[in-house]
Amino acid sequence: HFKKDHGISVCDHKDKNGASAVEQHQEEDCVFNYHSAFLKIGLLEHDFLDSVREGDGKRTCHLWKFKMLHFKDAQRHKYSLRHKYSLEALKLQFDIQAMQSPRVAHRMMWNITVNVTGGAGKNVALDLNCEHYVRYTKDAISHLGANVNLQTAQQISRTLQRQRQLMDNFDADVQLSPESGKHTVASKEEDIDAMVAVLKQQEIYKITPGR
């Protein structure tokens, strides 16, 4: 429309150096841009998971600011899961910075992880720990078979924490080592080395205009 009726084209726009939009696009290195963005997001996620393991609530909340922007930018429509996460991250910042009292804000910042095994760097997210208790509850209810009903399910749910404490104390008394909770995975070292060799050969972090 602009080109036909007004003789104006977006592609005819010149920057301060006299380069058009098409020329600017042709000079970009899309491979470099993609891998740079991929590396940035990967390091952000690595830092976020490390803050959770260390129980560093302040760093976790700070990193949520950056994750909020990524969720907002990646959403497809307002009902998408990423849109939900971006709103939750925004609400977290509102609560910590302004909406809640200093006492509640401090509690929200530092009460987002839990360490159930002891030791440094072994914290897990609080919601993940709740999911573990949901699994324990389902396992206990499934053992009842046909005898399960609402009353017994409620009793199991309300006493589950005490049951877990009794079982842990019994295991400690008989010197039974607890399960690690970690899944055994195959080594990815060879695959990573092969992938790195290809990326080095392609020189992905060397800017090549028009690539």
Tell me the pLDDT tens digit for each residue of 126-182: 988 888 888 888 888 888 888 888 888 888 888 888 888 888 888 888 877 766 666
Count of H helices and E strands in the chain? 8, 2
pLDDT in tens, 40-97: 999 999 999 999 999 999 999 999 999 988 888 776 666 566 678 888 899 999 999 9
pLDDT at 57: 92
Confidence class for position 110, pLDDT limits 50, 70, 90? very high
**Where are the chain's structural domains?**
126-180
pLDDT of residue 113: 92
Question: Comparing C-alpha atoms, which of 41, 84, 78 is closest to residue 63?
Answer: 41
Pick the more confident residue, 103 or 22: 103
CA distance 34 to 37: 5
> In the chain, what percentage of residues exceed pLDDT 90?
27
* Per-residue model confidence (pLDDT) at position 96: 93
Which stretches of the chain are assigned E, i.e. beta strand?
Answer: 113-114, 124-125
Query: 15-37 pLDDT, tens per residue?
Result: 555 555 455 556 788 889 889 98
Q: How confident is the model at residue 194 (pLDDT cuts 50, 70, 90)?
A: very high
d(Cα 208, Cα 27) in Å, to the nearest integer?
8
pLDDT of residue 187: 81
55: alpha, beta or left? (left if phi > 0; alpha if psi -120 to 50): left
Distance CA 28, CA 209 (A): 5
Confidence (pLDDT) at 10 = 46
- What CA–CA distance (Å, rounded) separates 6 from 154? 72
